[in-house]
Amino acid sequence: MRIALTYNLRRDTSEACAEFDSPETIDTIATIVRGLGHHVTPLDVTGSIPRLVAGLRWIRPELVLNLAEGERGPFREAFYPALFEQLGYAYTGSSASTLALCLDKALAKRVVAAAGVRVPEGELVRDHRVPYHLAPPLLVKPNFEGASKGITAASIVTDLAQLAPCVAELLARFPHGVLVEELVAGDDVAVAWVDSLGVLPPIAYRYPGSTIYDYALKQLAPERVLVEVPARIAPEVAARLTDAASRAFAALGIRGLGRADFRVTPDGDVVFLEMNPLPALGPDDKELYAASALLGKTPGELFAAILSAA
């Protein structure tokens, strides 16, 4: 097939570009997909929409392999699938409506909770009316961001006197909304799903000395994070994770692939944190490759499944 590989190029190391893809990531993915016999043309979607449309018309893709995160606003991830639909191009991954839903962490949690999965108690704040009814410890984070943007050690509130200043500081940077929620004690564990491969083995992220997987750990000091594939957890906890993840994928309408993030409490309870319908697939993000390898799948077979689903 003729495939357009759409993405946002990470041009610097600023927080604004944290979700974007490096040239190495694009080269790696293009090489894997070309190895399946496809003709792949990378297309950076950043900037001019007319230029993007012109590029697509020049490529004439039979399929768009979409990694684009978008630049501005709560609808940024959903914009490109919506555009592809209107232009008549098939594309990988979830629909525009699903991407918009998943980027809204508060709304996604409400949908997943309705499917019978535990979520942290919390409240979306769009102004300076602070939810003092929530009991510390609390976590304050942007509602419409990924890649741990806006999350630091100062995001943990242990005294209600800290709450208003913390919310105000984040709202000044992320005015679309801030999520204030209970800080769930436990381990970060992710569960990925790929169409035709099913739910993949769980992935644990361990970072001794830190309470949360914040921006500094994720973006500036990844060497401090131990990634376990598969996660070393009890079989009954793994079963709970698989059930909770399956419910979350179905409730949110995930198509093609996705990754659900959870906290597993010391008692083995599973708490849904967020859904990523555009999980990282770069050379430094080996989790999905390692998890699919446990099912006997090569990187090429992983991408073949993603393309086939589209």
Domain CATH number, residue 149? 3.30.1490
Question: 109 with 212, same domain?
Answer: yes
305 has pLDDT over 90: yes
Segment 63-67 shows an average pLDDT of 98
The mean pLDDT value for 8-26 works out to 93
Average pLDDT of span 63-76: 96
Could you list the residue range(s) of the whole structural domain that residue 143 is in? Answer: 122-182
Are 154 and 222 found together in one domain? no
pLDDT in tens, 171-191: 999 999 999 999 999 999 999
| Percent of the chain topping pLDDT 90 | 93
Query: Is residue 96 in some structural domain?
Result: no
Domain presence at residue 64 = yes
Q: What is the pLDDT of residue 129?
A: 86
Q: In the chain, which residue ranges form alpha helices assigned H by DSSP?
A: 23-34, 49-59, 76-87, 96-103, 105-114, 163-173, 215, 235-252, 287-293, 299-309
Q: What is the DSSP string of 33-59?
A: HHTTT-EEEEEE-SS-HHHHHHHHHHH
Number of domains in the chain: 3
The mean per-residue pLDDT over the stretch 157-180 comes to: 96
| Domain's final residue, options 149, 164, 182 | 182
Strand-pair partners of 256: none
Give per-residue pLDDT as tens, 113-138. 999 999 999 999 998 889 999 999 99
The larger pLDDT score, comparing residue 13 to residue 57, is at 57
- Whether residue 60 lies inside any domain: the answer is yes
- Torsion region of 183: left, alpha or beta (phi above 0 gives left; psi -120 to 50 gives alpha): beta
* pLDDT at site 128: 80
Predicted pLDDT of residue 248: 98
pLDDT at 284 over 90: no
195 and 223 together in one domain: yes
**pTM (whole model) above 0.75:** yes
73 and 107 in a single domain? The answer is no
Task: For the beta carbon of residue 201, count every other beta carbon within 10 angstroms.
Answer: 19
Task: Give the pLDDT band (50/70/90) at residue 227.
Answer: very high
Tokens 């970060």 belong to: 188
The last residue of one of the domains, among 91, 110, 133, is 91
Q: What is the pLDDT of residues 29-53, one digit of tens each?
A: 999 999 999 999 999 999 999 999 9
